[in-house]
Structure formats: structure tokens, C-alpha cells
């Protein structure tokens, strides 16, 4: 119960037993709404803190682990707000990984699954390139800090598994023609070509544009995959 | 009679050699520690491993950053000496196997150091320069080993192919095959050989085809 001084209800309601009961009923009735509102605001703050962290990592790759003060300033909250929601910056990284995994799933649904070979390759490559473009900065932070933050390791594994699952969906016709061992090796090779760490050097070291990077991947995958079986 | 005194230049050379050996021992210790744990070790850890005092380290290197750069250069020199191009004029399959096995050994040996270099490159421009040099060397080797096949396609395709081959045979690609996918050294080499074989265009008749 809040202290009396904090009670802003009309005095009559605070005194009369019936009115007290009504007021109590009102309190009970309105509590979930208020709690939900508080929770929603708190969740929103949490999300803004995560987004501020991700934006800082993306904007300034020379500083892969921004400080709490930098994150707070970017998010427009106090440092205290951050630590009320995350026990430490490691947990914030873990939350950012979860947020990005969810975002990647939402922004990159499989498209053209039943398309012809070229349509599927193009669709898969463009989706993957978009994911890598948005996520490479965080991916590097995760890889660099996974050693010290145990909770990050399963997230990295899940991200990789999702990539392989997507490859299996998109190239099912071609992969189905291979014996099990060759199929496994093909998936490993495709994943290697399509990794965040492969996208980044194409853009940063070789200076390829987004479209040029996609073209490298498209040609490579087309050469790597076995012939598409007749429908 | 006094004991014979070595000429001054010989004494200086002896000191220099000992100092050089200590320097090398420090860098070897640094690399050994990285192989055990992919994080920059402390000066104290390096000193213990090298069997020297921390002071000895800072007599030879201004700070840990200088030591890190020197170690990268030292490792790069060792790596270069280990990867002599072989079977450059062999048939396609011989060149594939030779290139992949050499590259795989390099990745196997230097992956931990590479990771530390990459993870710290954003903080240190000199490391970024070295990453670019290593990638350039890897690309040049690919060009050399697959000259017949690469010479048979136009410039744009050749560039795309080189980029694809380079990212395929990257350190991290090797690391994933070994650590995440659990492939043996031979299995991982097989994946690279098969994939490069599929990526490369047909070998021209006069280009050491199999």
C-alpha cells in the first residue's frame, strides 16, 4: 500500500467504509492496467537502451563495447536506468543478442521458397546480405566477448543453426540430390561463404558495394550447388 | 696473468644475440598463451611463460601494444616461411590439394593469433594494416595456384571468384569447420578442395588440367 501522503484519492473515499470498498475495488480493477502501463514503459525503456547500444556498436566499430554513460546518453536515460534493467553490461550484450535474433527472424522471412533456382538464390542471398549488413557489428562483439560471457555462446550457436536451416529450406531441391555426407559438407561450405565474417571483408577490405557483394555470393552459390533436379 | 679478454665487438654481439633470444622467447610465450586462451595475455603471464622478468619485457618493448605488433610481425614472418608455394605447375587436383593443405596448416597454427588481431584491429590501425597484408598474401597465393583457371575468365568474374575463394579459405571458415562442425583436419581439407573445385571454371587444355 502506498503511504497516506501519497494517496491522491478524494478524502471522502479515504474515510467511508463503503467508499473505501469501492475505492479498493477500483484499485483492484485498475491495477493490472497501471502495472501493464508501467511494465510497458519499462519494456520500452529497455528496448531503447538495447537499440542505443546497437546503434553505438554500428556507428563506432572502433569501440566495440560502449560504456554505460555512452549508452545512457544515446538512449536519453540515466546510467541508473540501465543498471535498473541490466545487472551489468554483459547482460545487456546478451539482451541485445536476443533482440537481434528476434529482429533477424522478423525482418528476414524466407521468400521464393518454391521459386526457380535463380529466384531462390537471389532471394536467399539478398535476405542474408541484409542480415549481415545490419548485424555484423554486433556479431563481432558477440564473437569477441563470448569467451567471457557464457550466455552468449548458445545465442551464437542458435544464429548459426538458423542460417543453416534457412539454407536447407532454400536449396532443398539441389541438396536432396546429394548423399548425406556430401550434403553436410555442402552446407558447411555454403555457411562459410555466407557468414558475417565473409560479408564484412567483401564490403570493408575489397570495397564492394552491397549489390556487388550479393553478386559474388550469387555466382559462388550457383557454381557450388549441384544441378537442380527436374520437377 | 689475466684471462684472455674477448674483443669488444664479440662481447657486444654475444649480448645482442642473448637479447634477441630473450625477445624471441617473449614473443613465443605470447603466442603460446594465445593458443591456450584467445585473449591478450598480461605482461606478468608472458614473463612467467618465457621465464624472464616483467622488467625484461619492458626493456625490449615499450608497452604491450608494441609487443603485440612485434609478435604479429614475428608470427607473419614464421608463417610466410612455412607456406612455400608447391606444385604450382601441377595438374588441377594436385594444385588444389597442395594449396588447401598448406592453407589449412596455416589456419590450424595461426587461428588463435588471427582472432586476437581481428578482435583488436578496431582499436589499433597498425593491426588493420597487417590484416590487409595477410589477406593480400592469401589472394596472391590463390592467383598463383589457380592461374590457369583464373586466366580463362574476364576481369569481373575473376575478381568475384578471387573474393569468393578468399572468403571460403579464411581463418574463421577453417575455425568453424574444426570447432563448430567438428570436422577432422582431413575432412575440412576435403570440404575446401571440393568447394574450390566446384567454384573454379574448367582448366584450359594447356593449363595443367587433370
Q: Do B111 and B179 have their domain in common?
A: yes
The pLDDT, as a whole number, for residue A203 is: 93
Contact A120, A113 (CB under 8 A): yes
Does B151 reside within a domain? yes
pLDDT digits (tens, 9 = 90+) for B83-122: 788 888 899 999 999 999 999 999 999 998 888 888 777 7
Q: Do B90 and B191 have their domain in common?
A: yes
Tell me the torsion sign for CA atoms B127, B133, B137, B139: positive
Q: Can you tell me the distance from the alpha carbon of B113 to that of B119, in angstroms, rounded to the nearest whole number?
A: 10
**Which of B24, B40, B70 is the endpoint of a domain?**
B70
Does B204 reside within a domain? no
Q: Do B164 and B191 have their domain in common?
A: yes
**Which of B31, B46, B70 is the endpoint of a domain?**
B70
Does B207 reside within a domain? no
Domain boundaries, chain A: 112-231
* Cell numbers at B65, concatenated: 601494444
Q: Chain A: residue nearest B40 by CA?
A: A144
Q: Which helix (H) or strand (E) holds B19?
A: helix B8-36
Q: Which residue has the cell 534493467?
A: A85
Smallest CA–CA distance, residue A28 to chain B, in Å, is 53
pLDDT digits (tens, 9 = 90+) for A18-43: 334 334 344 444 555 566 777 788 88
Does B77 reside within a domain? no
Dihedral of CA atoms A172, A178, A182, A188 in degrees, nearest 10, equals -10
Average pLDDT, chain B: 88
**Is B199 close to A140, i.e. CB distance below 8 A?**
no
Give the CB-side neighbour count of residue A93, counting CA atoms within 13 A.
26
- Name the residue range of residue B65's domain: 10-70
**Which of B35, B70, B105 is the endpoint of a domain?**
B70
Smallest CA–CA distance, residue A84 to chain B, in Å, is 30
Q: Do B50 and B151 have their domain in common?
A: no
Q: Which residue has the cell 674483443?
A: B7
Tell me the torsion sign for CA atoms A122, A125, A129, A130: positive
Confidence tier at A2 by pLDDT (50, 70, 90): very low
Q: Do B92 and B64 have their domain in common?
A: no
CATH number at residue B24: 1.10.10
pTM given for the model: 0.79
Q: Do B65 and B89 have their domain in common?
A: no
The complex's ipTM? 0.79
The pLDDT, as a whole number, for residue A20 is: 40
Q: Do B49 and B128 have their domain in common?
A: no
Which residue of B167, B196, B201 is the best one to mutate when testing the A interface, meaning the one whose CB has the most A CBs within 10 A?
Answer: B167
Q: Can you tell me the distance from the alpha carbon of B208 to that of B104, in angstroms, rounded to the nearest whole number?
A: 23
Q: Do B124 and B183 have their domain in common?
A: yes
pLDDT digits (tens, 9 = 90+) for A115-156: 999 999 999 999 999 999 988 888 888 888 887 788 888 988
* Cell numbers at B202, concatenated: 574448367
Of A143, A205, A220, the CB nearest to B135: A205
Q: Do B15 and B44 have their domain in common?
A: yes
Q: Do B88 and B23 have their domain in common?
A: no
Number of structural domains found in chain B: 2
Contact A168, A119 (CB under 8 A): no
Does B190 reside within a domain? yes
Whether B183 has its CB under 8 Å from any CB of chain A: the answer is: yes
Does B205 reside within a domain? no
Q: Which residues of B touch A219 (CB under 8 A)?
A: 157, 160-161, 164
The answer to whether residue B162 scores a pLDDT higher than 90 is yes
Q: Do B59 and B115 have their domain in common?
A: no
Does B192 reside within a domain? yes
Does B206 reside within a domain? no
Dihedral of CA atoms A23, A26, A28, A30 in degrees, nearest 10, equals -140
Neighbouring C-beta atoms of residue B169, cutoff 10 Å: 23
CA A154 to chain centre: 14
The answer to whether residue A58 scores a pLDDT higher than 70 is yes
Q: Do B54 and B95 have their domain in common?
A: no
Neighbouring C-beta atoms of residue B31, cutoff 10 Å: 21
Amino acid at each position: 500500500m502506498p503511504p497516506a501522503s501519497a494517496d491522491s484519492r478524494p478524502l471522502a473515499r479515504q474515510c467511508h467504509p463503503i467508499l473505501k470498498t469501492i475505492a479498493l475495488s477500483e484499485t483492484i480493477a485498475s491495477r493490472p492496467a497501471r502495472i501493464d502501463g508501467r511494465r510497458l514503459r519499462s519494456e520500452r525503456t529497455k528496448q531503447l537502451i538495447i537499440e542505443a547500444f546497437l546503434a553505438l556498436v554500428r556507428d563506432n566499430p572502433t569501440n566495440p563495447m560502449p560504456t554505460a554513460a555512452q549508452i545512457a546518453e544515446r538512449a536519453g536515460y540515466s546510467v541508473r536506468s540501465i543498471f535498473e534493467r541490466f545487472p551489468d553490461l554483459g547482460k545487456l550484450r546478451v539482451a541485445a543478442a536476443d533482440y537481434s535474433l528476434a529482429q533477424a527472424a522478423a525482418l528476414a522471412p524466407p521468400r521464393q521458397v518454391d521459386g526457380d533456382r535463380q529466384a531462390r538464390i537471389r532471394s536467399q542471398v539478398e535476405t542474408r546480405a541484409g542480415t549481415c549488413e545490419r548485424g555484423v557489428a554486433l556479431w563481432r562483439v558477440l564473437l569477441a566477448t563470448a569467451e567471457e560471457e557464457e550466455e552468449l555462446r548458445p545465442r551464437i550457436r542458435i544464429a548459426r543453426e538458423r542460417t543453416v536451416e534457412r539454407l536447407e529450406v532454400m536449396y532443398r531441391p539441389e541438396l536432396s540430390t546429394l548423399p548425406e555426407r556430401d550434403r553436410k559438407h555442402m552446407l558447411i561450405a555454403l555457411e562459410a561463404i555466407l557468414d558475417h565474417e565473409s560479408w564484412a571483408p567483401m564490403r570493408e577490405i575489397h570495397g564492394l558495394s552491397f549489390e556487388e557483394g550479393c553478386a559474388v555470393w550469387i555466382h559462388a552459390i550457383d557454381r557450388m550447388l549441384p544441378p537442380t533436379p527436374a520437377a | 696473468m689475466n684471462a684472455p679478454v674477448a674483443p669488444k665487438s664479440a662481447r657486444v654481439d654475444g649480448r645482442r644475440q642473448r637479447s634477441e633470444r630473450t625477445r624471441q622467447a617473449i614473443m613465443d610465450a605470447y603466442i603460446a598463451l594465445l593458443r591456450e586462451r584467445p585473449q591478450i595475455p598480461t605482461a606478468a603471464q608472458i614473463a612467467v611463460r618465457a621465464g624472464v622478468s616483467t622488467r625484461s619485457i619492458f626493456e625490449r618493448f615499450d608497452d604491450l601494444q608494441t609487443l603485440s605488433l612485434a609478435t604479429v610481425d614475428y608470427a607473419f614472418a614464421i608463417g610466410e616461411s612455412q607456406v612455400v608455394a608447391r606444385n604450382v605447375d601441377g595438374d588441377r587436383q594436385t594444385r588444389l590439394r597442395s594449396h588447401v593443405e598448406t592453407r589449412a596448416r596455416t589456419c590450424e597454427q595461426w587461428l588463435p593469433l588471427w582472432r586476437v588481431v581481428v578482435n583488436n584491429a578496431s582499436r589499433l590501425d597498425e593491426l588493420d594494416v597487417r590484416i590487409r597484408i595477410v589477406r593480400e598474401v592469401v589472394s596472391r597465393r590463390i592467383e598463383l595456384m589457380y592461374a590457369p583457371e583464373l586466366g580463362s575468365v574476364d576481369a569481373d568474374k575473376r575478381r568475384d571468384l578471387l573474393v569468393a575463394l578468399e572468403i571460403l579459405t579464411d581463418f574463421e571458415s577453417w575455425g568453424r569447420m574444426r570447432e563448430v562442425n567438428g570436422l577432422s583436419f582431413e575432412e575440412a581439407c576435403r570440404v575446401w578442395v571440393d568447394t574450390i573445385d566446384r567454384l573454379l571454371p574448367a582448366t584450359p587444355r594447356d593449363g595443367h588440367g587433370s
